[in-house]
Structure 1
Amino acid sequence: MNKRKLSLVSMLLTTLGILLLISNTNTVKAESINDYIINNKVQPAAIQNREGTFGVWSGYENGVGKPEGVVIHETAMDNTDAETLVASFNNIWKQQSVYVHAFVDDKEIINIHNTDYIVWGAGATANSKFIQVELCRVPSGDYDKFTKSIVNQAYYAASKLLQYNLPDTPGVTVMSHHQTSLKWKQTDHVDPDTYFPTWGYSMDQMNDLISYFYNNLKNTGYAYGTNETGNSNGVDDKAVIKTKNTNGNFAPLVAFNDDGSVTNINNRGLGNDTFWQTDQTRDLNGVTYHRVATNEWVDSQYIVG
């Protein structure tokens, strides 16, 4: 093939790529973002639990493990991903007196402080009541990344409401940072109400998406009501499980070793009647374990419902 033909082929491929990108963007705009997400079953990422450096272990105003809801934030920082912000917050929280429970972007959901305990993200009153999650901004015009990022934000919020047996009540158990600023007047932040409209989106639509995931997870254990991926080989498609140990106050956890054996985790367990997201199962000696963190697994005998 001569250089002229190669050049023509290259131009055609480039044009096709641009047309596909435009088509995807227009499809999202035409359907409304939530409709596009639901119709295409845009899958959330698995929630990663990585304990960060935040050294404050204070309970909420009602006690340890008793949050009253979730605050929705956005970072107000362009083109900065979750990994970068996790590293930054782990370094600066002592100097800037700020920390949140989790960061999400279009690829990851990273939980960096145990949600049984408070963080410093939205003023004293909101801090004493709410789990707090930050949404990372994505490049302007990239609707694919934006839809994935808000799926992760909504999925995290819905999962946490279920984990703590909280109802889904917009404005009460789910609040934007802006709403907490208006209600308690302890911060002046307005997020995410300045970021969402740049995508033709709103906090009301975020509440609708949280409610959609909340109801499906509660009723079926799956974000879209069924195991849409059809995965096998021990993948649960990010189901939500409820744990209960009838002989104790919590369900014990184990870690898998490189040789396939398990070791008990003695400094952490899953509270009775709490909900946990899981994405894999693994069998050993006739016992099925469900993964709830990177290498934390719970025996199926402690799963109910």
Structure 2
Amino acid sequence: MRKRRNKQQRQKQTYFIIGLLLIVGLAFSVYHAHQTKTVSNSYPVDETVTLTNTAKIYDSLSAIRETNTKFNTASTYKVNRYYLIDKDPHKVYAQIIYNGKNYFVRSTDTNIVMTNAINKYIAQAGYPHADIEHQISSRFTQQQYGTTSGKPRGVIIHDTGNENSTINSEVSYMEKNYGTTRVFVHTFIDAQQILNIADAKYMAEGAGPNANPYFVQFEMPHEYTATAFANQVANAAYYTAYNLKQGNLPVTKGNKNGGGTVWTHAMVSSYLGGTDHQDPISYWSASAKKLFDTSYTINDFIVLVQAYYNKM
């Protein structure tokens, strides 16, 4: 009887130990899964940043842990790549270089050092932007995107090409003439407003048949003062970053192979065809020269988009 009782006690102890080991193993697995980041996309950049006072720096993304290396928040650091995290578009990591070694920091803990005068102006103003207003028109045809996912793969930038027009007049004209022109964009952006007039879940018809099925599109009426122009560019960058973030897409310039997420109408004409428009090149360059005595190109805009993207 005593032997049987001892055997039962040993079995209970064995089961207890096995159960305890299973609990510890499960806890470790959950912790490891929580600490390990799965990268869904990454893209190269050439940027200089400063770090916030609360920035946490990591040695690795695969088994994320804080580094013991000391970083000076008053110093600048080179960023050579961004990493998007799978299933979590709100977490983006910048890869920074320090003493020849790569480290990682949340993009929200970085501040891009701007070199373009207009981008500097916007940065010094605290990266302002209007809220997105939705006034969806029933006038425009709703067609699915042509992507495998059914979602847009980037953003196309237009300017209206009309002097002294307003968002209201442009929207009114677009709605009134859609039956004959078959042209519309998702959103209009000026210095004070981001007005979404067509559901971005469906394609627009503003950049020709080779681009329409793949991109969110917005138009910019012309602005005529330095503050207004800068605010419009800021709103445009915010709207672009917002749409890329929604799709967990990188901030990359369109290219001749059809890749990239940020496009001008002019780039569509050059690389994709089906249209011959050159906007917003002359509007940006002329306004930048007149109002800020500088230049402004898609490269400058992409850096600004990244700055807004990093803070989302």
TM more than 0.5: yes
CA distance in 1, matches of 2:239, 2:150: 17
Q: Which residue of 2 aligns with 1:111?
A: 196
SS for the counterpart of 1:144 is helix
The yes-or-no answer on 1:184 pairing with 2:267 is no
CA distance in 2, matches of 1:31, 1:211: 14
CA distance in 2, matches of 1:94, 1:165: 34
Q: Which residue of 1 aligns with 2:299?
A: 204
Q: Which residue of 2 aligns with 1:126?
A: 211
1:57, distance to aligned residue in structure 2 (A): 1.5
Give the TM-score, by structure 2 length. 0.57
Q: Which residue of 2 aligns with 1:151?
A: 234
Q: Which residue of 2 aligns with 1:195?
A: 283
SS for the counterpart of 2:281 is coil
1:235-246 equivalences under 5 Å are none
Q: Which residue of 1 aligns with 2:102?
A: none
The yes-or-no answer on 1:83 pairing with 2:168 is yes
1:261-280 equivalences under 5 Å are none
- Equivalent position amino acid for 2:249 in 1: L
- Equivalent position amino acid for 1:161 in 2: L
Q: Deviations over 1:173-213 (max 9, x none)?
A: 11110001111221110111111111132221111111111
- Equivalent position amino acid for 2:230 in 1: T
The yes-or-no answer on 1:55 pairing with 2:137 is no
The yes-or-no answer on 1:93 pairing with 2:178 is yes
Q: Deviations over 1:60-83 (max 9, x none)?
A: 112675111100111111121222
SS for the counterpart of 1:125 is coil
CA distance in 2, matches of 1:42, 1:166: 21
CA distance in 2, matches of 1:138, 1:95: 28
Q: Deviations over 1:127-150 (max 9, x none)?
A: 0110001111112xx101000111
Q: Which residue of 2 aligns with 1:166?
A: 249
Tell me, yes or no, if the aligned pair for 2:154 and 2:261 is still in contact at 8 Å.
yes
- Equivalent position amino acid for 1:202 in 2: T
SS for the counterpart of 2:211 is helix
Q: Deviations over 1:18-70 (max 9, x none)?
A: xxxxxxxxxxxx97010111012141111001111333121111267511110
Shift of the 130–31 alpha-carbon distance from structure 1 to 2, 3 Å rule, reads closer
Task: Name the Cα RMSD after superposition.
Answer: 1.6
SS for the counterpart of 1:78 is coil
SS for the counterpart of 2:274 is coil
Q: Which runs of 5+ in 2 are unaligned?
A: 1-114, 255-259, 289-294
SS for the counterpart of 2:188 is strand
CA distance in 2, matches of 1:48, 1:121: 20
Tell me, yes or no, if the aligned pair for 1:52 and 1:113 is still in contact at 8 Å.
yes
- Equivalent position amino acid for 1:164 in 2: G
Give the TM-score, by structure 1 length. 0.58
CA distance in 2, matches of 1:34, 1:155: 13
Structure number with greater Rg is: 2
CA distance in 1, matches of 2:124, 2:265: 29
SS for the counterpart of 2:195 is strand
Q: Deviations over 1:100-122 (max 9, x none)?
A: 00000011000111111011100
Identity of aligned residues (%): 33
Q: Which residue of 1 aligns with 2:16?
A: none
Q: Which residue of 2 aligns with 1:137?
A: 222
Tell me, yes or no, if the aligned pair for 1:136 and 1:149 is still in contact at 8 Å.
no
SS for the counterpart of 1:68 is coil
Tell me, yes or no, if the aligned pair for 2:211 and 2:268 is still in contact at 8 Å.
yes
Q: Which residue of 2 aligns with 1:73?
A: 158
Shift of the 89–67 alpha-carbon distance from structure 1 to 2, 3 Å rule, reads same
